[in-house]
Amino acid sequence: MKKFFLLLSILVLSATGCSSGSNFSDSINNNIKVPYVTLNSGYKMPVLGLGTWTQDNSTVENSVYTAIKNGYRLIDTARYYGNEAGVGRGVRKAISEGIVNREDIFITSKIMPGNYSDPDSAIDASNNSLGLDYIDLMLIHQPGYNDEEVYKALERGVQSGKIKSIGISNYYTPEEFERITKNASIVPAVVQNENHPYYQNTELKNYLASKNIIVESWYPLGGRGHTQELFNNSEIVKIAKAHGKTSAQVILRWHVQSGYITVPGSKDPSHIAENINIFDFSLSDEEMKIFSELNKNQRYENW
Ligand SMILES: NC(=O)c1ccc[n+]([C@@H]2O[C@H](COP(=O)([O-])OP(=O)(O)OC[C@H]3O[C@@H](n4cnc5c(N)ncnc54)[C@H](OP(=O)(O)O)[C@@H]3O)[C@@H](O)[C@H]2O)c1
């Protein structure tokens, strides 16, 4: 087992270009142990977590609690999703039952464009809704008017202890990255973008790796309405069969083995359990090459 994590660590670190300060370690809790990557902020982030988009407060409370019981330690939410309160309740339930401590959990939220004129209040509102004392990673949800000022508010959030790490989302080119960070005093730790086998954007990934910044994949399975396109891809089906895994599992394995962090979304307990069960096998170099050749630069969303 130790050997496996060492191999995974080497694979992900070489793929992301993370500095020698980065490392992986096991999660301290039961069930499946998700490897961590150390961000350029110094904090450790699990390489796989639960996405919560489209889940309302009561649904998400249950999904988060189920996920934590299955070994998940990273939860992705956003002010825009309207479910931060439910995420907080799910985490607090797991804490109250002694399954985890607050510091075992990594919460990501995002400032939505409607709040770009008053980002400091938006950070407080997210923290209040979550009720978890601090946010582990806060992102600007997407480019928009005043986003450079929003980035400064994120930096203030770090200085005041409301946020541990900061990042951006939906910035797809080095030029967009440079615009938003040109006056930054804290380098973003994470860039969260649409990313899946049909849209790989390795140019941005390599550019960010040179700055010790990690890409986090949203729509890792293609997103709602498109998952079957990926699940039924004949090459992916072949690879899944060879490992006795599902298409979803080999796709998620490709994400983490490529050096991405990823947050597949699900409210289905069996999918939640399935999606974390990807750390007992690895894809061969040949299989990784087949995945990289699936790239079509095909994005499903345009925000
Ligand atoms: N920053 C941004 O702008 C942005 C944008 C979009 C999403 N996100 C984040 O990224 C997360 C992931 O994206 P997403 O949830 O939209 O798309 P996704 O993870 O690619 O796909 C989610 C869909 O796949 C299904 N699914 C999940 N696991 C499955 C499995 N093992 N087998 C079959 N179906 C499965 C889910 O249905 P079930 O519920 O039935 O499992 C759901 O319909 C979001 O939840 C959100 O947290 C961020």
Largest CA distance in the chain: 52
What digits encode the pLDDT tens for the residues 204-220?
999 999 999 999 999 99
> Kindly report the CA angle at 29 between 27 and 30, in degrees rounded to 5?
120
For residue 128, with 0-12 CB atoms within 10 Å meaning exposed, 13-18 middle and 19 or more buried, which class applies? exposed
- Pairing assessment for the beta strands 214-218 and 261-262 based on DSSP bridges: parallel
Band of pLDDT at residue 32, cut at 50, 70 and 90: confident
For residue 152, count other CB atoms closer than 10 A to its CB.
Answer: 16
- Is 217 within the bounds of a domain? yes
Angle between helices 234-243 and 247-258 (to 10 degrees): 90
Contacts of 279 (CB under 8 A, 6+ apart): 4, 8, 32, 33, 34, 35
CB 298 within 8 A of CB 198: yes
Atom of ligand 1 nearest to the CA of 225: 43
In a domain, 244, yes or no: no
292 within some domain = no
4 pLDDT band, cuts 50/70/90, is very low
Report whether 150 contacts 111 (CB < 8 A). Answer: yes
Q: Is 221's C-beta closer than 6 angstroms to any atom of ligand 1? A: yes
Indicate which CATH number applies to the domain containing 198. 3.20.20.100
Q: 128: Cβ–Cβ under 8 A, 6 or more apart, which residues?
A: none
Per-residue pLDDT for 303 more than 70? yes
Looking only at the bridges linking them, the beta strands covering 163-169 and 44-46 are unpaired
Q: What are the residue numbers of the active site?
A: 81
Query: What value does the mean pLDDT of the chain take?
Result: 91
> Can you tell me the mean pLDDT for 263-276?
98
User: pLDDT at residue 159 above 90?
Assistant: yes
Ligand 1 and 81: CB distance under 6 A: no
For ligand 1, say whether the CB of 249 is within 6 Å of any of its atoms: no
Please answer whether residues 233 and 241 qualify as being in contact, where contact means their C-beta atoms are separated by less than 8 angstroms: no
Distance 97 CA to ligand 1 centre (A): 27
Task: Give residue 7's pLDDT band: very low, low, confident or very high (50, 70, 90).
Answer: very low
User: What pLDDT score was predicted for residue 30?
Assistant: 53
Say yes or no to pLDDT of 6 above 70.
no
| 108 Cα–ligand 1 center, Å | 15
Residue nearest to atom 23 of ligand 1 (CA): 224
Domain residue limits at 92: 2-228+252-282
- CA of 200 from ligand 1 middle (Å) equals 17
Does the reported pTM lie above 0.85? yes
Which residue in 229, 279, 272, 280 sits closest to 256, CA to CA?
279
pLDDT tens for each residue of 33-57: 999 999 999 999 999 999 999 999 9
Specify the number of domains making up the chain. Answer: 1
Ligand 1 in contact with 192 (CB < 6 A)? yes
Report whether residue 223 contacts ligand 1, using a CB cutoff of 6 Å: yes
- Among protein residues, the one whose CA lies closest to atom 15 of ligand 1: 265
Q: Does 302 reside within a domain?
A: no
Give domain status of residue 300, yes or no: no
Q: How far apart are CA 128 and CA 134, in angstroms?
A: 9
Share of the chain above pLDDT 70, in %: 90
Model confidence at 23: pLDDT above 60: no
Whether residue 246 lies inside any domain: the answer is no
Of 207, 230, 224, which is closest to residue 296 (Cα–Cα)?
230
Query: Residue 236 domain-assigned?
Result: no
Of the candidates 181, 108, 118, 175, the one whose C-alpha atom is nearest the C-alpha of residue 138 is 108
109 lines ligand 1 (CB under 6 A): no
pLDDT band at 21 (very low <50, low <70, confident <90, very high): very low
Does some domain include residue 247?
A: no
**Mean pLDDT throughout 231-235?**
98
CA angle 229, 232, 236 (to 5 degrees): 105
CA of 115 from ligand 1 middle (Å) equals 24
